[in-house]
Copies of this chain bind each other. A is one copy, B any other.
Amino acid sequence: MGTKHSGSPGDVWLRPPARAAREAPPLSRDRIVDEAIALLDEEGADRLTMRRLAERLGTGSTTLYWHVKTKNDVLDLTLDAIFAAVEIPRADSQDWRAGITALISGWRAVLLEHPWSAALLGRPMLGPHVLARSEFLYATLLDAGATEPHLTAAAYSLSNYVIGSALMQATWTAGEEQATRAAAQDYFRANRDRYPVLATHGPLAEDSDWETSFTFGLTWLLDGIQATISASSAGGAANGPSTKAASHARQ
């Protein structure tokens, strides 16, 4: 506990790195992260152990702890690293929808390409890659004319929608879950009396098209954002969400 890692109980990103990492020793954070991604891609989330990771790197498992404080750090670094692959569109205030659509689609693509990432979404994402893309999202919406509270609401909706969508799809398309999916659909049909609609429709049907469904939802959100933006910029005060949606609150 007496190492340089002492100090703030914050997130990896908020802590200064263990070492400025000027030169690259044989083992480095980057190599660890790269190998972790490879391992996760090949074997899945539950197969990632410090020992196995070290073995693949040709080192002892203990060594990893010099470069990284905990396994959680590895996961945080790994999760952020994959988002480097999401290209940040060029800012274009003429067509903000195109930029946002590209960003969100890329975001989704990365999550689906690394299905293990879905299980990690429940942790603070404060890595530089994620933040840069969040910044772009907010900046683009701001540039498009969104003002509070619509700005936050728009960014919130879009990012949470991708996250939820990717999480669900990854849940059901992970190799081993394919059998579960089929079994579930059979189960619906066998209990057609209890689940009449699910028996014939639903995201688990064989012919369900995740991509199309995703695009519909994204379009609806963008339509709503666009309408709200122009309404509030054209006319009067920003009125809250119009419908009686807020009428329900338990507890």
| A residues lining the B interface (CB < 8 Å) | 8-11, 13-14, 85, 97-98, 101-102, 105-106, 109-110, 113, 118-119, 121-124, 126, 131-132, 134-135, 138-139, 142, 148-157, 159-165, 167-168, 170-172, 177, 179-181, 183-184, 187, 194-198, 201-203, 205, 208-228, 230, 240-251
23 A-B contacts (beta carbon < 8 Å):
A121-B122, A124-B172, A124-B177, A131-B195, A135-B197, A152-B208, A153-B213, A153-B217, A157-B161, A157-B217, A160-B161, A161-B217, A164-B165, A212-B241, A215-B240, A215-B243, A215-B245, A215-B246, A218-B241, A219-B243, A219-B247, A220-B228, A223-B224
Q: Are B249 and A160 in contact (CB under 8 A)?
A: no
Chain A residues touching B, majority SS: helix
CA distance A230 to B250 in the complex (A): 11
CA distance A162 to B183 in the complex (A): 25
Q: Are A160 and B152 in contact (CB under 8 A)?
A: no
**Residues of the B chain whose Cβ atoms lie less than 8 Å from the Cβ of A8:** 183
**Residues of the B chain whose Cβ atoms lie less than 8 Å from the Cβ of A248:** 101-102, 105-106
Q: Are A142 and B215 in contact (CB under 8 A)?
A: no
Closest chain B CB from A9 CB (angstroms): 7
Q: Are A250 and B109 in contact (CB under 8 A)?
A: yes
Give the copy number: 2
**Residues of the B chain whose Cβ atoms lie less than 8 Å from the Cβ of A221:** 217, 220-221, 224
Closest to A209 in B: B149
Among candidates B170, B179, B216, B249, residue contacting A157 with C-beta atoms closer than 8 Å = B216
**Residues of the B chain whose Cβ atoms lie less than 8 Å from the Cβ of A10:** 179-180, 183
Known: A180-B10, A248-B102. A202 touches B134 (CB 8 A): yes
**Residues of the B chain whose Cβ atoms lie less than 8 Å from the Cβ of A142:** 197, 201
